[in-house]
Each structure stands twice: as structure tokens, then as C-alpha cells.
Structure 1
């Protein structure tokens, strides 16, 4: 497996864990897992976000991209609704039946 694939897998797993951590905080008001494990996941996710944010900033500065055709918030909401409607039996899917 390539370094890129390993990195993407690491971020995917950390992001999924972070969603679970957020659910714990929102529903229970506390974490279910050790704070050090949660902090590690947050570091992986925020590191990835910063890497992408740096490229977003650089690409916006080039002026190469036209104005976005759609409202990013509406586009995101459409994707969220499609995700919420999804069901499968995959062990990694939060919507597993």
C-alpha cells in the first residue's frame, strides 16, 4: 500500500472516530474513550484539514477558479441528506442496518 493510501486510511479512521467522539460529547456530555486517544485523532484530522486549507488558500489566490456555481452550504446540505438516506450492511457505515 502506498504512503498516500496509508495517509488517507489514517485520516478516514481518525475522522470517523472524531464523529463518534463528537456524538459522545453532544449526547452524553463526556467522552467514552481516553482523552489521549481522542486528542491523537483530533491531531490527525486537524493536520489533514490544515494541509487542505493551505492549498485552498493558495488556489484561491491564483484567481484560476471561477466563482462557485452553487452555494457551498446548499451543496453540502444536499450531500448530507443523501448520506443520511443511505443504508447498507457495511461494518464501517454509521447507517448499517
Structure 2
């Protein structure tokens, strides 16, 4: 049985995974396969998480405690995305499941 913290930690990846599928449905089919209330529920969870993290990003940027970033954020993201795309697993939740 999951405690509240672990339930919360499992909730966001579940909603994010659904978002990826929902976005693919919209882009490929032009419509949702899931009921809009289900999609909205997941979007609410993601939106709340983004707002919470964005507030901390803004606060820490404003505080000036971080020096300039020397990494190429886009290149590092593309590398991580390529690594993700190249993997395969048996997880029923993974978009790369084989």
C-alpha cells in the first residue's frame, strides 16, 4: 500500500504519461481517445506541478544565487531524449514498451 508521499510521487508520472498519449491523439487523430474529464483531471495535476516548480525557479532566479549556466540545455535535453527513445522495456506504462 502506498503512503501519501509515494502516492503523490506516482501520480505525476502517471498524469504526464497520459499527457504524452493525449497529445499524440490530438496531433495524429485530431481528437481525444479518453473522455475530456479524464484528460482534464490529469492536466490539472500537471498544471499544479508546473506552477509549483515554476514559482521556485522564478524565486531562485530573482535571488541571483545561481551563476550563469554554461551547459547547452537544449543539447543536453536532446541527448537525454535520444537515450530515452533508444531504450526498451516491458513496463506497461512506458511509451517505449516492446
What TM bracket, shorter-length normalisation? over 0.9
User: What does residue 30 of structure 1 align with?
Assistant: 31
**Aligned pairs for 1:79-94 within 5 A:** 79-94=80-95
Local SS of the residue matching 2:88: coil
**For residues 56 and 29 of structure 2, what CA distance do their matches in structure 1 show?**
36
Note the aligned Cα RMSD (angstroms): 1.2
Instruction: Specify every segment of 5 or more residues in structure 2 that has no aligned partner in the other structure, as ranges.
Output: none
**For residues 6 and 92 of structure 2, what CA distance do their matches in structure 1 show?**
20
What is the deviation of 1:54? 0.3
What is the deviation of 1:70? 0.8
Q: Could you report, residue by residue, the CA deviation over 1:5-55 in whole angstroms, capped at 9, with x for unpaired residues? A: 222211111111111100100111100011111011101001100000000
Instruction: Tell me which of the two structures has the higher relative contact order, counting C-alpha pairs closer than 8 angstroms and 6 or more residues apart.
Output: 2
TM-score, normalised by the number of residues in structure 1:
0.92
Is the deviation greater in 86-95 or in 50-59?
A: 86-95
TM-score, normalised by the number of residues in structure 2:
0.91
Instruction: Specify every segment of 5 or more residues in structure 1 that has no aligned partner in the other structure, as ranges.
Output: none
